[in-house]
Amino acid sequence: MTRDLLADASEHLRRAADAAGDDAAARFERVADDLRTAADAEHGPDHGWMAKRIHTIRDAASDAGDEVTGHAEAAVECISEYRADVPGV
* CA atoms in the 13 A half-sphere facing the CB of 64: 28
The answer to the question of residue 58 being in a domain is yes
The answer to the question of residue 89 being in a domain is no
* CA atoms in the 13 A half-sphere facing the CB of 76: 16
DSSP string across 20-62: S-HHHHHHHHHHHHHHHHHHHSSS---HHHHHHHHHHHHHHHT
Q: Report the percentage of the chain scoring pLDDT > 90.
A: 80
Which tens digit of pLDDT belongs to each residue from 47-87?
999 999 999 999 999 988 889 999 999 999 999 999 998 98
- Domain containing 24 equals 4-83
What pTM was computed for the model? Answer: 0.92
Q: Based on the structure, what is the number of domains in the chain? A: 1
The answer to the question of residue 88 being in a domain is no
